[in-house]
Structure 1
Amino acid sequence: MTYVAYSTQFDLALLSLYTFYVLFVILIMYLRNEDRREGFPLVHEVNGQLQVLNPRSAPKPKVWNLAHGGPTVAGREERALDGLLTPPARVPGAPALPLGDPLADAVGPASYALRADVQDLTYDAKVAKIVPLRVAPEYSIAAEDFDPRGWYMLAADKRVVGVVKDLWVDRSDVLLRYLEVETSAPNARQVMIPIGLVNFDRRKREAMTSSVLADQFLAAPALKTPEQITLLEEDKVSGYFAGGYMYATPNRQEPAL
């Protein structure tokens, strides 16, 4: 076997090792720079002062060509939560407590991100991805499965809040995403709830959720258009009903033991 040596102390193996060291350090520096695109520069939680770690605390802006919303500069816009939360203690890392109605204010587990306020589209056909069955005749409920349309919808306090009007299907993943509930008069309107948060009683022909109470169900986020749901609205609806498991009643916020 031929042995390549550039001197008595330096050979090809040592060159490869040093090259690896240099490239590894460059990779670490690159990753540490890229992971500062959100949340940097740091601001002290208590006094609000800017904390500059080094001159390269934030990388140069990068533009993403998103499918929804077009070219977007990396680092998403954050919601303004001033006046909605307060820390129980003036120490870094203290949890923020809601000042008002956390479900209505959409904070904590009920929060949402500022996603694009446009419909999600299928990858191939570029049509609306999540739609009600009434506008997607190519989809239907299998004969061996139950169809909850027309069933009563009950909230966590066992009160009837309306009737299941329709089911919303995901054309890409081919599964049901939401229940559309027509609430009772006099304030009849359309309410969307993730189907994963609903239980069904085939004998009583009832749909039930333990997420929120009846009054909270009637105050759920509404859709701008009856037959479409945007990415932003999906986040609002999912956050609202998921947050109900902590904020629907005062005792849910307390420790179990």
Structure 2
Amino acid sequence: MVGTTFFGNFDLASAAIWAFWVFFAGLIYYLQTENMREGYPLLDEEGKSAPNQGPFPVPADKTFHLRDGRGELTVPSGQRGDRDYLALAQTSRAAGSPYIPTGDPMVDGVGPAAWAPRRDIPELDAHGHVKIRPISMLPDFKISGGIDPRAKAVVGGDGEVIGRVIDMWVDVPESLVRYMTVDLNPEGTGKIRLIPMNMARIKGNRVVVRSLYAHNWEGVPVTKAADQITLLEEEKITAYYAGGTLYASAARLESQV
């Protein structure tokens, strides 16, 4: 027989299982290193190279050609440098000691207000169009159900009325409201800010944003353009509201019963 004369006493079943394990180990190594193209090499809170980079090496550079003429991106060495350091100070030099904010944590982006350095360009749909736009600029869109928040007062976590909703921003291909536009002065001073929908509750006669107090609204990050928002701006705006759940006032830093 062919198996007897050619392979002799060689165990084909054992060879097959060992070949599978070698392939599987190589697959894990490949997937893990490819997963390290974003956010690596690791940095500590002071912006220095972290001593423990993990058991797997950082992969070699790979250049991606971006769609819609947005150039090229090389990773991991081409990581964005927006976060060279964090505004934190260690409470003691002992390893493992906690860090505390050294400035305004909601602006500096630390703790629950942390944000990732995404690209400062708008997100596009499959046709190369800006995804998120104000509904006032979309004549084909209208509110078909639920409560329309426009013209309703916006109330912060301290119960203070800080303005009114004047517009909404829609994820066009998803037909989903992503932000509301609030005018901080109902008389119309041009001080407008965006409110992420998942950080607000629409009531019958008001919109409630519990994470911010009246004195926090001036600090909400703004967009560079009046009709579009970039990925980085989305990060910073949402992080600001999330950070308010802890940092909006000194009272929130205390133990809660």
Provide, for residues 101-145 of structure 1, a one-character-per-residue CA deviation record: whole Å limited to 9, x for no partner: 11122222112222121111111x322211111111111012x53
- 2:24 maps to 24
Q: Show structure 2 runs of 5+ residues with no match.
A: none
* Identity in percent: 33
- Residue of structure 2 in register with 1:80 after alignment: 83
**1:55-134 alignment runs, 5 A limit:** 57-67=57-67, 69-75=70-76, 76-80=79-83, 82=85, 84-123=87-126, 125-134=127-136
CA contact (8 A) 1:40 1:58 kept: yes
- 1:213: which partner in 2? 213
Q: 2:157 aligned with 1:156, yes or no?
A: yes
Which amino acid letter does the alignment assign opposite residue 98 of structure 1?
A: P
Are residues 135 and 52 of structure 1, via their aligned partners in 2, closer, same or farther at CA, if it must alter by over 3 Å? closer
Equivalent residue number for residue 233 of structure 1: 233
Contact 1:79 1:113 in 2 (8 A): no
Contact 2:117–2:232 at 8 Å: present in 1 too?
yes
TM-score (norm 2): 0.84
> What residue identity is the alignment partner of 1:189?
K
d(CA) in 1 for partners of 2:133, 2:119: 17
Q: Is the 8 A contact 1:130 1:170 kept in 2?
A: yes
Name 1:145's counterpart in structure 2.
146
What RMSD in Å do the two structures reach over aligned CA positions? 3.0
One-letter amino acid matched to 1:131 = R
**Structure 1 residue matching 2:3: 3-state secondary structure:** coil
> Which whole-Å CA distance do the structure 2 matches of 1:99 and 1:190 have between them?
28
User: Residue 3 of structure 2 corresponds to which residue in structure 1?
Assistant: 4
Q: Distance in 1 between matches of 2:52 and 2:119?
A: 31
Shift of 1:215: 1.4
One-letter code of the match for 2:244? G
Question: Which has the larger helix fraction?
Answer: 2
What residue in structure 2 maps to residue 224 of structure 1? 224
Q: Residues of 1 paired with 2:35 and 2:212: CA distance?
A: 37
Q: Which runs of 5+ in 1 are unaligned?
A: none
**Partner Cα separation in structure 2 for residue 233 and residue 148 of structure 1:** 23
Matches within 5 A, 1:34-49: 34-38=34-38
8 Å CA contact 1:169, 1:178 repeated in 2: yes
Provide the secondary structure at the position in 1 that maps to 2:158: coil
CA distance in 2, matches of 1:255, 1:239: 22
| Change over 3 Å in CA distance of 1:51–1:128 after alignment to 2 | closer
Question: Aligned pair count?
Answer: 250
- Alignment correspondent of 1:14: 14
Per the TM alignment, residue 233 of structure 1 is displaced from its structure 2 partner at its CA by 0.9
Deviations 1:33-64 (A, max 9, x none): 44444565566779x6774889x833211123
One-letter amino acid of the counterpart of residue 247, structure 2: Y
**Secondary structure at the counterpart of residue 168 of structure 1:** strand
Indicate how the Cα distance of structure 1 residues 146 and 100 shifts in structure 2: closer, same or farther if over 3 A, else same.
same
Change (3 A) 1:117 1:52: closer
